[in-house]
Structure 1
Amino acid sequence: MAARLAAINKGIYASIVVRLRSIGTSSSADLPPRTNAASERFILEQISDLLSVDLGANSIESSQKTLNVVASEEKPSRSCVLDGLLSPEERLRGVFIQKLVGKAAVEAALSSAGVSLTAEIIAGVLDNGNLGGAAMVSFFDWAIKDPQIPDNLDTYHIVLKALGRRKFFVHMEEILRRMTEKGVHPDSKTVSVITDCYARARHVSKAVKFFDRLSDLGGEKNGDSFTAVIRSLCRRSHVRVAESFLRRNKGNLPPIKTAFDEILAGWAKLGRVKNMKTTWKEMIESGISPDSTTYSHLIEGLGRARMIKRAVRVFNQMEEKGCSPDTATYNSIIFNFTSAGKLDRGSFFYREMIAKNKSPNSYTYQILISAFIRARRVADALEMFDEMMGRGICPTTGMITSFVHPLCRFGPPHAAMLIYKKSKKEGCVVSLKAYKFLLMRLSRFGKCGMILQVWNEMQESGYSSDAEVYEFIVEGLCNNGQLDTAVLVVEESIKNGCCVGRIVYSKLNNRLLEMDKVETAYRLLLKVKKARALLNSQKYWRSRGWHF
């Protein structure tokens, strides 16, 4: 047993030394020069904190002498080194790994982390990681005391969403009780957050009962709160429960058109034509006249039920009933035809939409462009994309990714690069996922110049390169025979704490041996082995909860 512990401690010590050397080499411009005694003292401090080892009197005396020797020099700050390794969210979550006893100890440790709190940091701590319900409430109690954090509903919505997402409903109810005691009353957005969490976990009865006890929490039972409950239930496909909830409260609240629209949209999403008829009839009996939004849900539901001819007939009868089709209605009919593979009919209604001066929106173009790409009509997709940009409609980040992804799965990357360049020219934000798709496709075709250009633009956009990005670049350089550049990229990835996969490295190594560059391959092998050892050590630390 003692030999095993000694071996573990030796491995930890070696991993720490390797890590500190890498930190020292990567940040040598920022840290002052250190003596051997100062480095040894720093390593001993890290080991004693990690393994809870008491250094003893002799060690304290020797450490004091060491500190006196380097008193004239500036000692490297341990917190500065760790701050470079961990994000503010990780530093705050790491406090709960220590299993501190007592509320005062936890709050003192959180305060000593030296993090300037914002709403984004609080959301990052609560939404990510694996904190328990009690730890999340304890952290929120400490964070709400910060003067920079407002004690309002928006702040409470952050912790309510995080607790509800992980099904910590007991702690979520505790936060609601504290809100009532502080005089912070829930509104319609709070109702939407709570009921959505319950509906997502399939606790439908609790979602419905929350509206009934809204008055006890200081909230108001109005039309907005009522519609929020129905919207949350329909969004999670609990349409039948939402319909029953609507009928039960028919005498307590006046008829609300938005509530009927949400239920109709829920049935349309499921393609239940019979249920849509029932809801439509109840809406008419309640004295509510359908508008273009109601018709758009009806047309979409008929299309999902493969009743396209009937959907067209309803569309054509709209003007006869005194309701002119709007953009949403045209989007529904275009969506029906494109889903059925009838792209020409979808384009016909698009041209008719423009002829009647109905302005298409981004969703209109997303439907058409995605349908053209699925049908591999790339020229039509690019033409529609140009028309969208000509109308001043810039694609969102998600739209660009949805266009680039399928285009990078077949054929050359020319069309994907055209969409990427035009989007960048208009100032649109491109996601990291889209950059990876482009690099992957360019690497397979050996477009080295374009790979390096896209990589440079990705870094200028604020994205950092990970192991997957480096693998795409190295593979593209290998396919084009630029082995020296590939070796430089691998070395840069090692300096940045990444290591390429074994398949890509094996491909590069074989190419180097084929070109008789044995010495280069050997030097690269030593660096990769060292980087993999460090990476394995980091994975071991993280698996044990050692954020070191």
Structure 2
Amino acid sequence: MLVNGDLHTRLHTSHAPPHFQKLRGKAAIERALDNVDVELSNELVAKVVNRGCLGGEAMVRFFEWAIKRDEIEKRIDVYNVIVKALGRRKYFDLMLEMLSEMRVRGVVLNYETLFIVMNSFVKGKQVARAIKMFLCLDEFGWECDTVALNVVLECLCKRSFLSSASLLVKKMKGKVEFNETTYNILMSGWSRCGNVGEFEKCLEAMVGDGLEPDSCTHSYLIECLGRAGRVNDAVEIFENLEKDGCVADVCVYNAMISTFMQIGDCDGCLRYYERMLSMKCDRNMDTYVRIIYGFLKARRVSDAIDMFDEMVVRGITPATGTVTSFIKLLSSYGPPHAMMMIYKKARKAGCSISLSAYKLLLTRLAKFGKCGMMLDIWDEIQENRYSSDVEVYQLIIIGLCNNGQLENAILVMEECLRKGFCPSRLVCSRLNNKLLTSNKVETAYKLFLKIKVARQSENARKHWRNKGWHF
């Protein structure tokens, strides 16, 4: 690392040190990769292109090298990894070049690939480009059929580009056959924003095409009315379902539960939950998530924990993102006891905990000075093979400072610096001020010198990374 005395001079020289020179030429890069003593696998390739700090061309070059190796299977799902990685980072031209290359190699593109491409465009706010590509899908090896249309509509409606989705439906009218899913996707979008007028237009068009509204359609209608504040109309729709020849299933009950939760009526929500049980309608994870989330928003934490217990007892394991959303909501109020209970119950149920959830726990525990629990969480982060980044170290240091454990805070700071991280100036200043207040001037000065060197090293890394050298 560049931590010696003439660092400043080196930063401003026009040439990089020999051991930081870029490898020039495809052959040189492939030789260097061939010499790496690592067992190559599909999972490793995915990690490199998804989590690495490579640019678009470097990602493609690495993938091209990997796909030639015998260890990597030439399946469409392997190619989808690089397509998704390029799209996520908005390397759209490279993504399209990869699609063309896949066709040349005889790789058959599937609808998952189409979803990845369209979702990348829409997420990157390249809606016009997504629609333009859809209108000439045959050039990329797809058929412009009902399934493809539904894929594009799902991407547009998921990101709330509802006007574009509606215009696309009008444009494709008569060219592509619509089914119930086509209209339901569009109505789900209008439902999320509570636009009853547009929803009714879609419903009329659906009936006009000779398609029967199903339970999903009714659930979207109920949710739409609820979001528009027309709860009484939503209740009326629910009560008249049998007259319309539709049986209330779990989707419809979930819509009613969500409607009452949105207005903060937890008791009304529970009435429909009990009615659901009396009708022997099976609950699903969405049912429990909506109720628990409503309880947490209403700060009825004990009821939320009871419902969480019931969900786990029934063998329903919450998704990682669901647990994170619960912990995030609990981190906004009250002491950390409740969020720790949810966390422990989720772990006991076999749920995978995200690094984001761990950071939320550390933040709250650090604020309340719960050092013992905080260090236990840190151990579990490492047990789950998450690497501690600079943010984790900062939270640990803040928690130890808040609890007056300055010696331990120094040890954590030094470990952080050894790993090549440099905490923010605010965190360093807080620890330094605590040491000075405790009359540990010499310790504070020694730590200051170490942080100064680490800061210089960090600046050097940023400088060389901007020039394309990675170390």
**TM interval, short-chain normalised:** 0.7 to 0.9
- The one-character-per-residue Cα deviations of 1:404-428 (angstroms, maximum 9, x if unpaired) are 2232232211111111122222222
- 1:293-332 aligned within 5 A: 293-332=216-255
Give the match for residue 159 of structure 2: 236
Answer with 124-133 or 371-380: which moved more.
124-133
Structure 1 letter corresponding to 2:378: W
Q: In structure 2, do the counterparts of structure 1 residues 404 and 245 end up closer, same or farther at CA, with 3 Å as the change threshold?
A: closer
Structure 2 letter corresponding to 1:178: E
Give the match for residue 380 of structure 1: 303
Structure 2 letter corresponding to 1:10: D
Q: Is the 2:145–2:177 contact (alpha carbons within 8 Å) kept by the matching residues of 1?
A: no
Q: Is the 1:499–1:532 contact (alpha carbons within 8 Å) kept by the matching residues of 2?
A: yes
Give the match for residue 400 of structure 2: 477
- In structure 2, what is the Cα distance between the partners aligned to 1:241 and 1:233? 7
Give the match for residue 76 of structure 1: none
- Mapped pair 1:180 → 2:110: no
- In structure 2, what is the Cα distance between the partners aligned to 1:132 and 1:521? 40
- The one-character-per-residue Cα deviations of 1:452-488 (angstroms, maximum 9, x if unpaired) are 2222222222223233323333333333333333333
Give the match for residue 440 of structure 1: 363
Greater C-alpha Rg:
1
Answer with 434-443 or 469-478: which moved more.
469-478
Choose from 262, 271, 278 the match for 1:348.
271
- In structure 2, what is the Cα distance between the partners aligned to 1:503 and 1:209? 48
CA drift at 1:139 = 4.2
Give the match for residue 290 of structure 1: 213
Q: In structure 2, do the counterparts of structure 1 residues 175 and 294 end up closer, same or farther at CA, with 3 Å as the change threshold?
A: same
- Mapped pair 1:426 → 2:349: yes
- In structure 1, what is the Cα distance between the partners aligned to 2:5 and 2:367? 45
CA drift at 1:542 = 3.2
CA drift at 1:335 = 1.4
Structure 2 letter corresponding to 1:161: K
User: Which structure has more RCO (C-alpha within 8 Å, separation ≥ 6)?
Assistant: 2
- The one-character-per-residue Cα deviations of 1:97-140 (angstroms, maximum 9, x if unpaired) are x3724x44454444445554433444444456676655554444
- The one-character-per-residue Cα deviations of 1:322-343 (angstroms, maximum 9, x if unpaired) are 2111112112121122122222
- In structure 2, what is the Cα distance between the partners aligned to 1:255 and 1:370? 35
Q: In structure 2, do the counterparts of structure 1 residues 339 and 216 end up closer, same or farther at CA, with 3 Å as the change threshold?
A: same
Q: Is the 1:187–1:220 contact (alpha carbons within 8 Å) kept by the matching residues of 2?
A: no
Give the match for residue 10 of structure 1: 6
Q: In structure 2, do the counterparts of structure 1 residues 437 and 255 end up closer, same or farther at CA, with 3 Å as the change threshold?
A: closer
- In structure 2, what is the Cα distance between the partners aligned to 1:168 and 1:448? 43
What TM-score do you get using the length of structure 1 for normalisation? Answer: 0.75
- In structure 1, what is the Cα distance between the partners aligned to 2:90 and 2:425? 39
Structure 2 letter corresponding to 1:142: W
- Mapped pair 1:402 → 2:398: no
Give the match for residue 24 of structure 2: 100
Q: In structure 2, do the counterparts of structure 1 residues 475 and 105 end up closer, same or farther at CA, with 3 Å as the change threshold?
A: closer
Give the match for residue 258 of structure 2: 335
Answer with 497-506 or 388-397: which moved more.
497-506
Give the match for residue 68 of structure 2: 145
Give the match for residue 457 of structure 1: 380
Give the match for residue 260 of structure 1: 183
Unaligned runs of 5+ in 2: none
- In structure 2, what is the Cα distance between the partners aligned to 1:205 and 1:543? 32
Answer with 223-232 or 418-427: which moved more.
223-232
- In structure 2, what is the Cα distance between the partners aligned to 1:166 and 1:442? 34
- The one-character-per-residue Cα deviations of 1:16-55 (angstroms, maximum 9, x if unpaired) are xxxxxxxxxxxxxxxxxxxxxxxxxxxxxx94334x7xxx
CA drift at 1:313 = 0.9
CA drift at 1:403 = 1.5
Q: Is the 2:184–2:217 contact (alpha carbons within 8 Å) kept by the matching residues of 1?
A: yes
CA drift at 1:292 = 0.9
Answer with 194-203 or 147-156: which moved more.
194-203
- In structure 2, what is the Cα distance between the partners aligned to 1:405 and 1:202? 27
Give the match for residue 275 of structure 1: 198
CA drift at 1:295 = 0.9
- In structure 2, what is the Cα distance between the partners aligned to 1:229 and 1:388? 34
Paired residue secondary structure (1:441): helix
Structure 1 letter corresponding to 2:18: S
CA drift at 1:354 = 2.1
CA drift at 1:314 = 0.8
Q: Is the 1:264–1:297 contact (alpha carbons within 8 Å) kept by the matching residues of 2?
A: yes
- 1:479-498 aligned within 5 A: 479-498=402-421
Q: In structure 2, do the counterparts of structure 1 residues 456 and 14 end up closer, same or farther at CA, with 3 Å as the change threshold?
A: farther
- In structure 2, what is the Cα distance between the partners aligned to 1:226 and 1:466? 42
Unaligned runs of 5+ in 1: 1-7, 16-45, 53-97
Q: In structure 2, do the counterparts of structure 1 residues 490 and 236 end up closer, same or farther at CA, with 3 Å as the change threshold?
A: closer
Give the match for residue 289 of structure 2: 366
Q: Is the 2:366–2:400 contact (alpha carbons within 8 Å) kept by the matching residues of 1?
A: yes
- In structure 2, what is the Cα distance between the partners aligned to 1:171 and 1:482? 51
- In structure 1, what is the Cα distance between the partners aligned to 2:391 and 2:53? 25
- In structure 2, what is the Cα distance between the partners aligned to 1:232 and 1:402? 22
Q: In structure 2, do the counterparts of structure 1 residues 134 and 494 end up closer, same or farther at CA, with 3 Å as the change threshold?
A: closer
- In structure 2, what is the Cα distance between the partners aligned to 1:132 and 1:109? 18
- The one-character-per-residue Cα deviations of 1:258-295 (angstroms, maximum 9, x if unpaired) are 11111111222232212211221222222222211111
Paired residue secondary structure (1:319): coil
Q: Is the 1:509–1:521 contact (alpha carbons within 8 Å) kept by the matching residues of 2?
A: yes
Paired residue secondary structure (1:219): coil
- In structure 1, what is the Cα distance between the partners aligned to 2:139 and 2:156? 22
Root-mean-square deviation over aligned CA pairs: 3.3
Paired residue secondary structure (2:6): helix
- 1:181-200 aligned within 5 A: 181-200=104-123
Q: In structure 2, do the counterparts of structure 1 residues 427 and 232 end up closer, same or farther at CA, with 3 Å as the change threshold?
A: closer
- In structure 2, what is the Cα distance between the partners aligned to 1:375 and 1:305? 20
- In structure 2, what is the Cα distance between the partners aligned to 1:454 and 1:134? 39
- Mapped pair 1:48 → 2:18: yes
Answer with 402-411 or 470-479: which moved more.
470-479
- In structure 1, what is the Cα distance between the partners aligned to 2:101 and 2:461? 40
Structure 2 letter corresponding to 1:149: I
Answer with 471-480 or 522-531: which moved more.
522-531
Q: Is the 1:185–1:219 contact (alpha carbons within 8 Å) kept by the matching residues of 2?
A: no
